[in-house]
Structure 1
């Protein structure tokens, strides 16, 4: 209900008369009869205010005019582009960094020229179909791009792909003046837009992007519930076509055999070798029948007089596709008039174009040198995608205008696709804070599982012959499910014979039989003394002797400072010196951009020539940026020395498991060295000869968990909650019934057929479900022991995907609620409680971590101006507000992790271009995997404050209700 003032402003010339006074009096009398006094009623506050004037005579005209004003001049440009034809794809490509324009003339002649951006007749192109290729394994930046307009073809090549060792990958693609109205077409074009240089500016651009994937979804898309049925139908359809194709090939081969037999029989009859007793006629009749059958299948191809009859066999598949599509033409199935969202499916549906995307996998797996070697093929592939995308656009855009004719629809699509998110240095602090809290909590869980594994090995020691020496693992329902076959633990598992010089190069505390006094126990309980003095890690001893020595600055301090380049931790090897790995594969290395072009490697990274410029431009990050800058400038005063010792102490006190999981600390030399009470290394004492000790045996399950892993020391125990042994070490039960793992049915729980104490703990719903359900049967050979388990029945854990689905892990996110409710319990201590606590606190970060870390953030610097105001002259936060925000942040940090340290950071600003799909659902709702997901910020949920990291620059403000 609107007040009269608002009603008169919105609905012009539509006044309502006051009710007759007689009716008003009757109403008042009724209220009085029931004891209701209108004078005592509450009065609503006035909502009258002056609205902006309507853009027209009514609301319909108002919104139509606004839609037209926002859509101009982009709708006319898009309509012209949908009617235009692209020039032919060039036959050859010129390899040079930046944009190359390929001219085409009507006589077939053409030439190319280098241009700063797509332009024609000295003006930026106003209509482009655009596609970008990247190598995600190395970095998110573009390596090449193709664009096409009605005037010419354009190709952009990154300097990095032409010479990775001499150029930085930090290159974006320029499209021309941001003040020119431009329409850009692409398939999932938001991915391409994030690689355009002009889009990273606070003033925005007049570029508008039309996504052929969104347009397809709006007119012929399918919902997530329809997708499985569509995939199944497509597969069945293709299988039917393949079957018919095979049948026709069989007829062709049979016809070929009959023709050969016929020719041979005729020659034999002519030469008098055989008598014709009607066999010749039978072969002729068979030949005619086969030809007639084949002609029926190929009749459609015969209607094309230009068809090459020698290609009949190759065209059979196409003929069958057409024939299959013509079935039930009077009533097509819904699967025939829709498709998935990929360019392959959309092009086939709308344009009947078949394209192959196999070459796309090369960008995921190949090295830069391999891409460069065949770059002409990859440019042609990208250009083919551009041509296909334009063909799709010519079909789907007119259909979209017909389905959504209102100009507001078009304006909404283009507006949703042109937003950006400003962030400042708090973005990095947020990621660093969330990562540290998560790693700390995750490290506690990992350490708890490691302790349980070591405790199990100590409790049930094994020997070479008769299984367990002490303890009875067979009587434990959880331990008995692990393989206790004895295996000799050797050097690959961190066990060295006495006197071996490499014994100190391993982390001795990784050995489950290692004692706290510098010795390890064998299966015969003998001990070998390894150290008679106090031991500290080798790197720590070196640093304490001289914190600013050459060795410390070159080899130790870069790791303690946690230096990273482009979010990749720095690594050091004697051969490659300081470098980083763009992907998870440590064999693929990249040198720092400040490294010499002559191929000289970086031996000292903390130097003016290397870390100083990289830290200043933000491409290199550090745990303590200020200290890294001081060291890069060569500072060696007492304050610097004190800060270095503080940094070393922090690393030295770190949990060993967390240290080995840390990409920087794991590179330090943790081998123990003896020191006296003053910290001075003690001289090595020649040890007396020790008799050869018996071998050390571990159970096979523990031996498997410590198998050698690249980048980890020998004996590293690799166990997480995703490991199958974790529920067994935790000794988890479901409502008092122990969990058992089945090869056939996944995780199940065991119920004794005779009454037990667990029966009284069972809730009525579970008791009723067990009464109605049949026990599981086991047919897999690995489950023979379960099939022969007399006195017990086995039932599946209830699962969200239904009773037929197997539970892969009872420690998964979907089972956290059962652990919180006490349905899942552990008999091994408080580790399950800690695991649940981590699961609750880190559930958001675990699920969103990869998407957040992969956000493509570009920071403003002197070489890349984004238009942010000078922070020294403008501010948009009051001191009280800033203090309040800092207090909340400190409280949240203290709640989640005690060891989290806030790092002071220099003020800086950057932009994220979100990859929004303007119409990602059949209801034409915009989707974005990170920023448009519903999540509430809570102090006990790590990383849930994500959206608060979008900050208004100085002098700006955000209206969060603007698009509500």
Structure 2
């Protein structure tokens, strides 16, 4: 490859193109000169884009590529993908059937081969293609205990030496505990094919997979259980005895030895079912994924390899210690709050009954003890909720106080006095966390349990009592509690005036959707409910007057004669919970009994925001649940969980000071520490370390084999529980430097790159294909040519359009691409800008949708074959209209396939199966599955270049839109040049650890001093194409390692 500077070339809308010579080489035809398209430029101008002005452009470089295997890039690509895949495809064709399962197995360590009438010891199976399964003793360790493999001629059984050892096994795993497939000293370069179910799990127990040399292996995997997959694809019952599975999950070495014959046969039956399932799936796979690049891309994805060293163990120890310190800090704060609550409310005056948070705790005390010890007397003075926080036995630990308290407990939000949008949080035993909406009127009116029986000017007839009894049911029985209604109303009053008694409420009422005679009646009901609330008379009068003003200028809708209106009383809670949004909903009076007969989308729209309280039952209030990120209908288990971080930051969720004055940042501090700890709390459970025998020759080096499902989602994205989901290093997340603990051994480094805005440019490319040239649509132009500095990129344009931050606009733009509509856009806007009134949120969301997706219009396509007029809906007049029309065209086609590699959508989402349903999911599939095609193409080209130019490199990891290769330090620049030769990256990173930014020191709560000071990790380099050319001379040739200087440890 040679690089030379060339002239700058621009297309019809002044988008810079690749050099003409390179175009001719890649596409096998000359490109005529580009002429400015005035029509396209004018169309872009209508969306605020000036495509007439031409930028200077970047200096182009002509790449003198190797001779193509074909006349153009498409043929070349098919040729090299076929060449790379051919050895493995041939192996698969050579496995027509399996022999009969042996009747008797020998309990011998290592490998034993079983022929038709004989068995014999071997070092390793020599077959090039095998079906394989392994089992572990879960209670013992993660090491394999037995394994079975089968070829067309033999069955093989491997038994771990740990099973036959008389010494007690340890939890740690050594290299000698792993399964070998190559004899010592044999070359590892010959292709080998192993077929298994969830084979990435089995791979982690194979010796050769931990060697730094890349193996030519094929491994196939499935995400669902083998039994389920076998039943589905083979249409028959599995051979397995499920009871035997429990021996591996809960048994001991003795149990395995006692049941050895049955368990070995169990493992062999797994192999047999895997083989039969694979035969059925393989034919289906070839039909649905015909391109060889898809196949080889999956092979590469299954070979990920993460090198580690002693820093990995040090990191865990530091993270665990930091986690313990944060937990202790949280507990100290919560203990102080518990002790403050006890000191304030533990007197005989029962002051807790007037506290909106603490009233429903169990304040009961035990009977006075017979003995008079200090501990017994002290415990007898404590309420039950406090005693439950003292470690047992309490008589020995009473001086330690509420040492058991944690942020996960139900009592924590109460002690923190958490408020949601101005209202104290309430916990219902059935409905979980939410707030109470006052306004219900207990029936019958005048019931002495709930109504004040005295009358005066200050206390009108039938006024509700300021405090009354309610009941709460628990496992211990039924408790009577006193509900502080008046205290709760003090918080509600401020909120009701802000939500309903203001100018925006009057405006929303006058402009309400679908005016209904019940609207005025509902406001009358709300005024009557306010009149009986136990508030000061002047406050009641002010609220009633404000509510009257809402409908003062509105025409009262007539009620049709002889028409009875359904009861509207229960809608009072809805009105208060939703505020002005209630008037925008045309279905605001839908009866609950209709909800279950409607579609899922309509049920979501009709769901009630306020429901009756259940346990405790409070007859004066409705219950409004806290929002759940999982969707409507899901209760919230803890308001101190991760999804509520944004609500704390926006001020929706906050801690009310005990005296009602000033600010209390206890909740902020608790949540901040809780969020800091949550990352490690979750991910530490997924981390397993081979502390014993890391690497060889006494060196403290090792490897992690990610358990990747190469096509684990509907869109064929890879799935893995840790490395593909872990966030990058964050100063506020303990343990988030975990990726940087993947560190290259001496003499090696990591080289990789990220694809900028990958899914956006794929979508824009599909949209531009309708016009016929790049940047011909507004979405395409902003993606390719838009400048953040000039304010012409997609995210900045969106931010300026509706007055939000650029990062917030980015979230909205991607959400829309993934199928979100108007309602979700409103939801996101309300999260971003908590001070926006609901009607302002709606206006901004509608403005954004009109400007981007445009209008939905019906177009006539003419008469069909049967003479009927054919129509379809399209998007029009938006910056993204062309894109979504093109994406929908693919998604609605009879057999949706990706444009490049022809991968087909899952059968469950084809139009034949779902008609017009799940369209957002199918559009999302077009984009994300095309991104997977792009990744597979990249991996195939890199594999070809690595082989062609003798580069010592292997895939380290691919995380959706980024790839990293582990390579010999001496050929790092050549790998960087290879990456730039495959795809035009803005930069290529060369580093000694796995991190997004090679200059980021990854400072976190568990790594406050950074990677350099703590782990001696130097900064990496980020190289542009010009810098790579300068370092390599712009040439790639077969690499000569002997001519190179010895590798160093510097990146």
Candidates 477, 483, 490, aligned match of 1:756: 490
1:892-903 alignment, distance < 5 Å: none
Match of 1:101 among 113, 127, 132: 113
Quote the residue 1:957 is aligned against: 749
CA distance in 1, matches of 2:32, 2:643: 61
Equivalent position of 1:708 in the other structure: 392
1:333-412 matches, within 5 Å, as 341-355=224-238, 356=240, 357-412=242-297
The change in CA–CA distance for 1:137 and 1:488 in structure 2 (over 3 A counts) is farther
5+ residue gaps in structure 1?
28-35, 105-109, 119-123, 215-340, 462-467, 499-519, 525-694, 865-906
Equivalent residue, structure 2, for 1:149: 151
Contact 2:138 2:250 in 1 (8 A): no
Normalising to structure 1: TM-score of the pair? 0.53
Partner of 1:941: 733
SS at match of 2:304: coil
1:769 corresponds to 2:578: yes
Question: How big is the shift at 1:802?
Answer: 4.6
1:77-131 Cα deviation digits (max 9, x unpaired):
01111x2x21111122211222222221xxxxx232322222xxxxx12111111
Helix, strand or coil at the partner of 2:294:
helix
Cα distance, 1:717–1:343 mapped onto 2, change above 3 Å: same
Report the secondary structure of 1:481's partner residue: coil
Aligned to 1:4: 20
Superposed counterparts of 1:177-256, under 5 Å: 177=186, 178-211=188-221, 213=222
**Alignment CA distance shift 1:764-1:934 (3 Å):** farther
Who is 2:101 aligned against? Answer: 89
Over 3 Å counting, the alpha-carbon distance change for 1:142 and 1:756 in structure 2 is same
Q: State the partner residue of 2:1028.
A: none
Deviation at 1:184, TM superposition (A): 0.2
1:794 Cα deviation after fit: 3.6
| 2:190 counterpart of 1:175 | no
Does the CA-based 8 Å contact 1:488-1:698 persist in structure 2?
no
Contact residue 746 and residue 808 of structure 1 kept, 8 A: yes
Deviation at 1:522, TM superposition (A): 6.8
After TM superposition, list the pairs within 5 Å mapping 1:410-809 onto structure 2. 410-461=295-346, 468-469=347-348, 472-487=351-366, 523=377, 696-706=380-390, 708=392, 717-753=403-439, 756-761=490-495, 764=499, 767=576, 769=578, 772=582, 775-779=610-614, 782-784=615-617, 786-787=618-619, 790=620, 792-809=621-638
Asked if 2 retains the 8 angstrom alpha-carbon contact of 1:858 and 1:910, the reply is no
Alpha-carbon distance in structure 2 between the residues aligned to 1:844 and 1:496: 48
Q: How big is the shift at 1:480?
A: 2.0
Tell me the CA shift for residue 18 of structure 1. Answer: 6.0
In the TM superposition, residue 523 of structure 1 has moved relative to its aligned partner by 4.7
Q: CA deviation at 1:423?
A: 1.5
After TM superposition, list the pairs within 5 Å mapping 1:897-936 onto structure 2: 908-933=700-725, 935-936=727-728
Deviations 1:704-743 (A, max 9, x none): 3335399x97877322222122222222222332222212
Whether contact under 8 Å (2:695, 2:702) holds in the other structure is: no
The runs of 5 or more residues in structure 2 that have no matched partner are 1-16, 42-49, 440-485, 501-574, 583-607, 659-663, 754-937, 940-961, 963-1051
TM norm structure 2: 0.49
Corresponding residue for residue 330 of structure 1: none
What is the CA distance between 1:41 and its match in structure 2? 6.7
Aligned residue in 2 for 1:670: none
Match of 1:834 in 2: 669
CA shift at 1:186, angstroms?
0.1
- C-alpha distance in 2, partners of 1:200/1:767? 62
CA distance in 2 between counterparts of 1:71 and 1:379 reads 33
Q: Cα 1:95–1:778, aligned 2, differ >3 Å: closer, same or farther?
A: same
Answer whether contact 2:25 2:72 (CA < 8 A) is retained. no
Residue 958 (structure 1) shift: 2.1
Go from structure 1 to structure 2 and tell me whether the alpha carbon gap of 1:751 and 1:392 turns closer, same or farther (over 3 Å shift).
Answer: closer
- Name the CA shift for 1:460/1:126 in 2 (closer, same or farther; >3 Å): same
1:819 alignment partner, one of 648, 654, 671: 648
Q: Distance in 2 between matches of 1:949 and 1:479?
A: 46
Aligned ranges 1:156-167 → 2 under 5 Å: 156-163=158-165, 165-167=167-169
Q: In the aligned structure 1, how far is the partner of 2:651 from the partner of 2:752?
A: 41
- Aligned residue for 1:839, secondary structure, equals helix
Give the deviation of 1:151 after TM superposition: 1.6
Structure 1 residues 375, 486: CA separation in 2 closer, same or farther (over 3 Å shift)? farther
Residues of 2 paired with 1:707 and 1:191: CA distance? 41
Q: What do residues 642-701 of structure 1 show as CA deviations (whole Å, max 9, x unaligned)?
A: xxxxxxxxxxxxxxxxxxxxxxxxxxxxxxxxxxxxxxxxxxxxxxxxxxxxx7443222
Q: Is the 8 A contact 2:368 2:377 kept in 1?
A: no
**In structure 2, distance between residues paired with 1:360 and 1:838:** 41
Determine the structure 1 residue equivalent to 2:1023.
Answer: none
Query: Counterpart of 1:728 in 2: which secondary structure?
Result: helix
Which residue pairs with 1:287 in the alignment?
Answer: none
Aligned to 2:508: none
1:256-335 to 2 correspondences below 5 Å: none
Query: Conserved in 2, the CA contact under 8 Å of 1:747 and 1:810?
Result: yes
How far off its partner does 1:183 sit?
Answer: 0.4
Please say if residues 858 and 912 of structure 1, whose CA atoms lie closer than 8 Å, have aligned partners that are also in contact.
no
Classify the secondary structure of the residue corresponding to 1:448: helix
Q: Which has the larger radius of gyration?
A: 1
Task: Flag the 1:95–1:18 CA change in 2: closer, same or farther, 3 A.
Answer: closer
Change (3 A) 1:708 1:115: farther
SS of the aligned residue for 1:959 comes to strand
Tell me, in whole angstroms, the C-alpha distance in 2 between the residues paired with 1:414 and 1:794.
Answer: 53
Deviations 1:369-415 (A, max 9, x none): 33333232222211110110011111111322232232222211212
Deviations 1:169-218 (A, max 9, x none): 5310111243332100001111101100011111122232122x27xxxx
**Counterpart residue number, 1:850:** 685
Question: 1: distance between equivalents of 2:610 and 2:55?
Answer: 67
CA RMSD between the two structures: 3.7
Aligned partners of 1:185 and 1:473: how far apart in 2?
Answer: 66
Partner of 1:298: none
Q: Contact conserved, 2:424 with 2:491, CA < 8 A, in 1?
A: no
**Displacement of 1:496:** 11
Cα distance per residue 1:899-920 (max 9 Å; x no partner): xxxxxxxx73211111111221
Q: Against the structure 1 CA distance between its residues 758 and 364, is the aligned structure 2 distance closer, same or farther, given a 3 Å change threshold?
A: same
SS of match in other structure, 2:308: strand
Mapped partners of 2:637, 2:714: distance in 1: 33
Q: SS at 1:72's partner residue?
A: helix
Tell me if structure 2 keeps the 8 A contact 1:164–1:368: no
**Matches of 1:200 and 1:496, distance apart in 2:** 66
